[in-house]
């Protein structure tokens, strides 16, 4: 892919498909970004939270007297002080789609979260008290003076203990520690497994790691003295949901709450959910009558913002003698942490992405999510897919070994072919409809990945033997991703009197470059130059309806909403110009911002002229001195189904048998996200996703001790990879258009992050074949690799 | 092994600050029994602990403006003297250091990143004494002597007595590490500094500094120094490994013996990043590599 | 100080009940001489952001790992979260706002981050840009290891680093020739 050398559109071409340099950058490069903590709110009070040091304890008493007397303290609140506010419950995320409910009848238990823990704390880091002071230093001074007495309770950390009779019960109102449970079956798996030529069974663990955006979470709020509205600035991926929750919690109507997600320094899912801090800060601003700012610190972000990924898969594959997979059975255990925040989202994603690109007729997948005394887990880039792909792709390699087949050959024998599209798996998708893969060419993805990774060359080098104890290995992993989750997204386009085009979308950007890519879509749809378009995202005043930027959905939903709104606006412009010019609309064309007759020499009119002076289409010429035309369209795009993106990754690694160090020699990615709007941005998304996946595969883990204390709560111990750890990637792509939307696009924000854990584990296991190891969990730190070498593999 | 995990805060507690111009003033301030004082120089180890409220001094005494601590010189005896205000980047770039004490320059190059080395001081890292850090290990290998100044004047402490335990040294509360002295290197000395880190710039999971002196007459090892980082609460000098190397030509047998000595003699601990067994095995492996490199450099 | 030097701008101290000692410091920030009263414990990052409202310097971890807060102190990149404001008395600081003030054209480093797409959310970018700026201001072109070492002092969660490496390489090419 080329970019940078291709800065703009060539005459007559479309903007879509071009690596337009981002319009966002100039401001950010000058230090003029406005992340929440950068927004000046003179006189703001700073908030700091006292958080539980216990994983599970009853709160016996809280004494805030000394804290209240500390210098600069404005207020100190405990659970009692906010008891009149309802606990937080994101019903939208916890809702089971009717189709899913009817077919599978999943269990989904509600665990409302108190804004400040009153009776019990359920994880280390849970907010217990809120100090509001003149600055953060003084607030932290006062936090130290809040005297909380805890009576520790038995701690439940290991998810496998959660459902035992002896396990402490986390939520008094629930019968046990089950958060969700769902099972799906296709065909007759039991019969198939009983008679199959080869059956393998393994247990694979996806370990806990976290999104860790470089900007931590932040929220500020102020009652606007002019309008009386409550203004809330939050680094959120879902501003409209925050508006609804804020209004609900504080007893306001939604139209008196204005949420803005200004510049957001990365989200990756962690900022896509609701947090109690986001509700308490606006509450404080109203109560105190002063602006209030809270910026999470890194320790809080690592230990108390949402975690992700922790799953155990007990997976079995059955195959015939030719390596055709007949069936899969998987028991998936998901560690939810202390609260059920996002319900079926992650577990069901794991369930309905397990089959991946493979044709597997008989299926039995059972998922249980359990509650433990750890920080709550929610979607993080991939949201259940990296975990399930780790299990399936590891199982594929174990099956290949059992059958004596090369891993890529086993995969090739089981891929769904392009001629089978749309392909139905027999499962039900996340929205409750029969699961269907709309498009894709999985065999071609694999063929290209194999050609680049050259496994035969790796095997030839393996046969030459290790050099200095360094072993080479190759691995593959494939995935599909149902992208473009509904229910809808909004785009509103206005033509300003100056002729500039204002595009507002519900979805905010956390670095995805919407101001550029959405403008490209709008420019093509309307027929205007890119430079006249201004894009706003994530401002609830600009688009009263919206969902957000999560689940690889923004391009599909907001992009197609933008496209449709742009087409409608284009018609309105041409109609208005026809009226002004007194010619039939079908004699006019609009391109580059000028409406002109299709025939040479005819009349023409630019957008500024039209929008500044023309009357509304369909209305009489005004006679009262008013002039100007309002041309505007709002579209809520509702996707008819998922656009399925797909990819094949391959990695060649070298493992030092002495130190356990893993070096990535070659990382290959071939992905398919349909039509690409901005190749430069798309490549950046894929690359960034893979870097996070490599982090999870080799470096990052959020570790808890048996006492429920997080042990990797700083950036010294929680190891986000640096430039030195992330290699350049060898990238290729297919462009199988999605039939599910006008733009024929698929989402790709998460794709890169889905396969790295699996592909690196497969490559490391291949490299360590002489030692007979089985990689069952990550991260593949030197110490863990050495443990594998030292301890011969035992059957699962 | 000694990194900080207990952070609950990230703004310092209140303290006062002063930047005296003379060593005498600094010592007088440190000796004030009424106040809990702490020396700050580059701050790259201390300020994280201040931010996390793990260090809670009442007074910070900044010694970077004291002229008499700003020296980086080779004295008449040929020893390298590094004052407490000398930043790591300056020491690593100094031609005399690079020529005479390349192990020191190499150790510094493994510390964090240039953004850290440009602020952090050599003596600050030594006085902070994280046993997974590079400089304590290098100083131990180089037989450093530590000039500690307090109310009663200055005293010189050898490296074997300087490092007491994790984050603890022979420097008392009313004293400061004013200078570190590295004796002149022998004529034919080879060196190596090897470490395994999780990421570029991290503290070592385990590391080793090796110095080998070649006997010009026999061509064999005359003296050896083997010191490990990340292997215990202080830099661990392993004389059994040194003994295995002395009098040899660093042949395979000698390397195997040194390796065995490391496996038998090291007793590192477990933590979230590595098991004790992994540390021990890797230390032994790095020792072999370091010995080979050091001997080639003799 | 010669009489022709204008008096430094005085930054007012917010009226706080600060329990630690206050100090008057005078320093240069992006070429402007500034005098200010600061608390002993005030981190340089907070001084820049809250007192001078230079919010381009971002705070990502406050324990010296992420590098988002990197500024140039007397020409050298340093973590402003691991530096006390009071320690900077007499120092010359440069922040991202000082590179291309107002509408001035972007510097080669800034331009390279733009053309190479070496940024996504932009939060870590000012730190990377300041380190890269220091690399381009060295007398000789730094070697690949030195560049890698310097870049490893920063975390980016969006880009996967490849385009950051390309951007820095491009800026160095422009400064030193390819």
Question: Cβ contact (<8 Å) for A688 and C124?
Answer: no
Domain count, chain A: 3
| DSSP character at residue A358 | B
Tell which residue, A471, A511, A467, A507, has the closest CA to residue A491: A507
Q: Is A679 in the same domain as A618? A: no
* pLDDT of C5: 64
Its pTM stands at: 0.96
Instruction: Kindly tell me if the per-residue pLDDT of A11 is higher than 60.
Output: no
Contacts of A463 (CB under 8 A, 6+ apart): none
* pLDDT of A610: 85
Contacts of C27 (CB under 8 A, 6+ apart): C33, C34, C36, C88, C89, C90, C91, C92, C93
Q: Render pLDDT for A318-332 as a digit per residue (tens, 0 to 9).
A: 999 999 999 999 999
* pLDDT of A670: 98
A420 belongs to a structural domain: yes
Rounded to an integer, the average pLDDT of A41-68 is 96
Instruction: For the sheet with A604-606, list strands across it.
Output: A588-591, A594-597, A604-606
Q: Is A545 in the same domain as A668? A: no
Q: Is A321 in the same domain as A295? A: no
The average confidence (pLDDT) of chain B is 95
Tokens of residue A685, six digits? 């998304």
- For residue A576, give the CATH number of its domain: 3.30.365.10
Instruction: Give the whole-angstrom CA distance, residue A511 versus residue A531.
Output: 20
The average confidence (pLDDT) of chain A is 94
Q: Where are the alpha helices (DSSP H) in A170-210?
A: 189-195
Question: Cβ contact (<8 Å) for B3 and A714?
Answer: yes
Where residue B9 falls among pLDDT bands split at 50, 70, 90?
Answer: confident
Q: Is A370 in the same domain as A396? A: yes
Q: Is A480 in the same domain as A495? A: no
DSSP string, A58-108: EEEEEE-HHHHTSTTEEEEEEGGGGTTSPPB--HHHHPPPHHHHHHH--EE
Q: Render pLDDT for A741-782 as a digit per residue (tens, 0 to 9).
A: 999 999 999 999 999 999 999 999 999 999 999 999 999 999
* pLDDT of A423: 98
Strand B153-158 relative to strand B163-165, pairing: unpaired
Instruction: Kindly tell me if the per-residue pLDDT of A629 is higher than 70.
Output: no
Nearest CA in chain C to A2: C116
Instruction: Give the whole-angstrom CA distance, residue B146 versus residue B157.
Output: 5
Domain of residue A506, residue span: 489-637
Q: Is A480 in the same domain as A493? A: no
Give me the percent of chain B exceeding a pLDDT of 90: 95
Question: Cβ contact (<8 Å) for C56 and A31?
Answer: yes
A409 belongs to a structural domain: yes
Question: Cβ contact (<8 Å) for C40 and B60?
Answer: yes
Tell which residue, A662, A657, A645, has the closest CA to residue A789: A657
Tell which residue, B58, B65, B81, B71, has the closest CA to residue B173: B58
Tell which residue, A651, A680, A316, A730, has the closest CA to residue A478: A651
Q: Scan for tokens 């890797």, then name that residue.
A: B282
Q: Render pLDDT for A569-599 as a digit per residue (tens, 0 to 9).
A: 999 999 989 988 899 999 999 999 999 999 9
- Residues paired with C67 in a beta bridge: none
Contacts of A454 (CB under 8 A, 6+ apart): none
Which residues does chain B have within 8 Å of residue A661's beta carbon, measured at their own beta carbons?
Answer: 196
Q: How far is CA C127 from CA A422, A621, C45, C65, in A?
A: 47, 56, 12, 12
Tokens of residue B283, six digits? 């230390």
Of C116, C123, C129, the CB nearest to A266: C123
Question: Cβ contact (<8 Å) for A660 and B205?
Answer: no
Instruction: Give the whole-angstrom CA distance, residue A425 versus residue A423.
Output: 6
Which stretches in chain C have pLDDT values below 70?
Answer: 1-6, 12-17
Rounded to an integer, the average pLDDT of A717-725 is 97
Which residues does chain C have within 8 Å of residue A715's beta carbon, measured at their own beta carbons?
Answer: 61, 63, 65-66, 155
Specify the CATH number of the domain C9-98: 3.10.20.30
Report the residue of B114, B124, B203 to disrupt the C interface, i.e. the one with the largest count of C CBs within 10 Å.
B114
Question: Cβ contact (<8 Å) for B282 and A782?
Answer: yes
Instruction: Kindly tell me if the per-residue pLDDT of A181 is higher than 70.
Output: yes
Instruction: Give the whole-angstrom CA distance, residue C111 versus residue B166.
Output: 46
Q: Write down all domains in chain B, each with its CATH number in brackets.
A: 16-62 (3.30.43.10), 70-182 (3.30.465.10), 189-297 (3.30.390.50)
A163 belongs to a structural domain: no
Q: Does domain C108-176 have CATH number 3.20.20.105?
A: no
Question: Cβ contact (<8 Å) for A729 and C160?
Answer: yes
Q: Is A601 in the same domain as A651? A: no
Where residue A6 falls among pLDDT bands split at 50, 70, 90?
Answer: very low
Q: Is A113 in the same domain as A245? A: yes
Nearest CA in chain B to C85: B17
Nearest CA in chain C to A214: C60
Which residues does chain B have within 8 Å of residue A781's beta carbon, measured at their own beta carbons?
Answer: 198, 273-274
Where residue A7 falls among pLDDT bands split at 50, 70, 90?
Answer: very low
Of A144, A716, A783, the CB nearest to B3: A716
Question: Cβ contact (<8 Å) for C114 and A690?
Answer: no
A206 belongs to a structural domain: no
Tokens of residue B192, six digits? 């190596």
Question: Cβ contact (<8 Å) for C23 and B17?
Answer: yes
C72 in reach of chain A (CB within 8 A): no
Question: Cβ contact (<8 Å) for B15 and C82?
Answer: no
A176 belongs to a structural domain: no
Least confident piece of the model among A38-52, A601-615, A662-676, C112-126: A601-615
Q: Render pLDDT for A453-465 as a digit per residue (tens, 0 to 9).
A: 999 999 999 999 9
Report the residue of B1, B58, B198 to disrupt the A interface, i.e. the one with the largest count of A CBs within 10 Å.
B198
Rounded to an integer, the average pLDDT of B117-129 is 98
A196 belongs to a structural domain: no
Tell which residue, B143, B144, B214, B154, has the closest CA to residue B178: B154
Q: Where are the alpha helices (DSSP H) in C74-160?
A: 108-115, 125-136, 144-151
Q: Render pLDDT for A83-114 as a digit per residue (tens, 0 to 9).
A: 999 999 988 888 899 889 999 999 999 999 99
A72 in reach of chain B (CB within 8 A): no
- Residues paired with C11 in a beta bridge: C36
- For residue A71, give the CATH number of its domain: 3.90.1170.50
B7 in reach of chain A (CB within 8 A): yes
């Amino acid at each position: 892919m080329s970019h940078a050398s291709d800065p703009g559109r060539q005459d007559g071409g479309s903007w879509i498909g071009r690596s337009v340099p981002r319009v966002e950058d100039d401001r950010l490069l000058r230090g003029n970004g406005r992340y929440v903590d950068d927004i000046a709110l003179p006189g703001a009070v700073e908030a700091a939270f006292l958080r539980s040091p216990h994983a599970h304890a009853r709160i016996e008493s809280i004494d805030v007297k000394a804290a209240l007397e500390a210098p600069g303290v404005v207020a100190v609140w405990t659970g009692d002080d906010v008891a009149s506010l309802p606990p937080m419950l994101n019903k939208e995320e916890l809702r089971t789609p009717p189709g899913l409910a009817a077919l599978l009848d999943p269990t989904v238990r509600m665990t409302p979260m108190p804004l400040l823990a009153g009776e019990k704390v359920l994880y280390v880091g849970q907010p217990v008290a809120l100090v509001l002071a003149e600055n953060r230093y003084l607030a932290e001074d006062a936090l130290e003076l809040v005297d909380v007495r805890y009576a520790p309770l038995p701690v439940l950390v290991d998810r496998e203990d959660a459902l035992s009779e002896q396990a402490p019960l986390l939520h008094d109102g629930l019968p046990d520690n089950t958060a969700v449970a769902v099972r799906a079956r296709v065909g007759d798996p039991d019969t198939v497994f009983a008679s199959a030529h080869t059956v393998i069974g393994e247990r694979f663990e996806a370990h806990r790691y976290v999104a860790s955006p470089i900007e931590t979470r932040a929220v500020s709020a102020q009652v606007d003295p002019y309008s009386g509205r409550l203004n809330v600035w939050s680094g959120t991926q879902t501003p409209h949901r925050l508006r609804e929750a804020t209004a609900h919690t504080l007893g306001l109507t939604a139209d008196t709450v204005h949420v803005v997600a200004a510049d957001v320094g990365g989200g990756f899912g962690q900022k896509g959910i609701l947090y109690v801090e986001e509700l308490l800060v606006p509450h404080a601003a109203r109560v105190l009558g002063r602006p209030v700012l809270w910026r999470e610190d890194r320790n809080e972000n690592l230990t108390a913002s949402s975690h992700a990924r922790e799953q155990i898969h007990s997976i079995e594959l059955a195959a015939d003698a030719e390596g055709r997979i007949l069936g899969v059975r998987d028991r998936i255990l998901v560690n939810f942490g202390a609260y059920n925040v996002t319900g079926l989202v992650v577990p069901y994603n794991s369930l309905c992405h397990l089959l991946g690109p493979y044709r597997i007729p008989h299926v039995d997948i059972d998922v249980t999510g359990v509650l433990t005394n750890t920080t709550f887990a929610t979607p993080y880039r991939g949201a259940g897919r990296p975990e399930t792909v780790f299990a399936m792709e590891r199982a594929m390699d174990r099956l290949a070994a059992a059958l004596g087949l090369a891993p890529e050959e086993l995969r090739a024998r089981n891929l769904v072919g392009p001629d089978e599209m749309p392909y139905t798996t027999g499962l039900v998708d996340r929205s409750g409809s029969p699961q269907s893969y709309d498009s894709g060419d999985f065999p071609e993805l694999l063929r290209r990945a194999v050609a680049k990774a050259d496994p035969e060359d790796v095997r030839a080098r393996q046969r030459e033997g290790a050099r200095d104890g360094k072993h080479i290995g190759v691995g593959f992993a494939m995935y599909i991703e149902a992208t473009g989750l509904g229910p809808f997204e909004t785009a509103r386009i206005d033509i300003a009197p100056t002729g500039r085009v204002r595009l507002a979308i519900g979805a905010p950007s956390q670095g995805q470059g919407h101001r550029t890519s959405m403008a490209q879509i709008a420019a093509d749809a309307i027929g205007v130059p890119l430079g006249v378009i201004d894009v706003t995202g994530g401002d609830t005043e600009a688009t009263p309806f919206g969902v957000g930027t999560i689940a690889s959905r923004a391009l599909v939903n907001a992009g197609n909403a933008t496209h449709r709104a742009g087409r409608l606006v284009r018609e309105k412009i041409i109609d208005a110009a026809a009226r002004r010019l007194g010619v039939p609309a079908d004699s006019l064309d609009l391109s580059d911002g000028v409406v002109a007759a299709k025939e040479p020499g005819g009349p023409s009119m630019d957008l500024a002229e039209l929008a500044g002076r023309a009357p509304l289409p369909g209305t009489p010429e005004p006679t009262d001195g008013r002039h100007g035309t309002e041309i505007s369209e709002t579209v809520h795009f509702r996707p008819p189904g998922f656009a399925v993106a797909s990819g094949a990754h391959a990695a060649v690694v070298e493992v030092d048998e002495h130190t356990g160090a893993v070096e990535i020699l070659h990382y290959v990615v071939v992905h398919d996200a349909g039509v690409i709007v901005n190749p430069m941005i798309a490549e950046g998304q894929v690359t960034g996703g893979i870097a996070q996946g490599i982090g999870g595969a080799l470096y990052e883990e959020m570790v808890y001790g048996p006492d429920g204390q997080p042990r990797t709560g700083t950036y010294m111990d929680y190891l986000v990879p640096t430039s030195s750890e992330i290699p350049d990637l060898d990238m290729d792509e297919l462009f199988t258009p999605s039939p599910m939307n006008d733009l024929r696009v698929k989402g790709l924000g998460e794709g890169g992050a889905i396969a790295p854990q699996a592909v690196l584990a497969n490559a490391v296991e291949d490299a360590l074949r002489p030692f007979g190891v089985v990689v069952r969990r990550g991260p593949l730190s030197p110490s863990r690799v050495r443990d594998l070498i030292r301890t011969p593999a035992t059957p699962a | 092994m000694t990194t900080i995990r207990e952070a609950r805060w990230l703004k310092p507690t209140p303290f006062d600050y002063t930047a005296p111009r003379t060593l005498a003033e600094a010592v007088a301030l440190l000796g004030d029994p009424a106040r809990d004082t702490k020396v700050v120089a580059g701050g790259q180890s201390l300020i994280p602990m201040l931010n996390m409220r793990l260090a809670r001094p009442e007074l910070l005494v900044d010694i970077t403006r004291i002229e008499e601590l700003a020296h980086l010189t080779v004295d008449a005896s040929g020893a390298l003297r590094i004052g407490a205000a000398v930043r790591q980047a300056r020491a690593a770039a100094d031609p005399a250091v690079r020529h005479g004490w390349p192990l020191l320059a190499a150790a510094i190059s493994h510390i964090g990143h240039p953004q850290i080395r440009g602020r952090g001081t050599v003596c600050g890292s030594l006085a902070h004494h994280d046993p997974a850090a590079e400089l304590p290990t290098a100083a131990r290998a180089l037989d450093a002597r530590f000039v500690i100044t307090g109310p009663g004047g200055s005293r010189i402490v050898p490296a074997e007595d300087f490092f007491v335990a994790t984050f603890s040294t022979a420097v008392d509360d009313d004293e400061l590490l004013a200078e570190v002295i590295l004796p002149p290197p022998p004529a034919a000395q080879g060196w190596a500094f090897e470490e395994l880190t999780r990421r570029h710039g991290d503290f070592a999971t385990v590391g080793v500094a090796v110095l080998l002196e070649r006997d010009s007459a026999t061509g064999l090892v005359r003296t050896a120094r083997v010191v490990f980082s990340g292997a215990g609460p202080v830099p661990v000098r392993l004389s059994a490994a040194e003994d295995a190397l002395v009098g040899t030509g660093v042949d395979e047998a000698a390397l195997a013996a040194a390796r065995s000595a490391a496996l038998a003699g090291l007793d590192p601990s477990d933590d979230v990043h590595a098991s004790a067994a992994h540390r021990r095995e890797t230390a032994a492996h790095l020792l072999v590599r370091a010995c080979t490199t050091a001997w080639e450099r003799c | 100080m010669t009489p022709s030097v204008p008096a430094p701008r005085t930054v007012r101290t917010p009226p706080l009940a600060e329990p630690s000692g206050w100090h008057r410091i005078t320093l240069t920030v992006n070429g402007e001489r500034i005098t200010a009263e600061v608390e002993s414990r005030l981190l340089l990052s907070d001084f820049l952001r809250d007192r001078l409202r230079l919010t381009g310097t971002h705070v990502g971890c406050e324990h010296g790992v992420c590098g988002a807060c990197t500024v140039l102190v007397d020409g050298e990149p340093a973590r402003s979260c691991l530096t006390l404001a009071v320690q900077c008395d007499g120092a010359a600081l440069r922040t991202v706002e000082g590179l291309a003030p107002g509408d001035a054209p972007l510097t080669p480093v800034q331009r390279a981050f733009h053309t190479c797409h070496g940024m996504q959310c932009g939060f870590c970018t000012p730190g990377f840009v300041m380190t890269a700026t220091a690399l381009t201001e060295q007398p000789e072109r730094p070697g690949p290891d030195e560049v890698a070492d310097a870049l490893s002092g920063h975390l980016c969660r969006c880009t996967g680093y490849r385009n950051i490496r390309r951007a820095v390489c491009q800026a160095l090419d422009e400064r030193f020739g390819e």
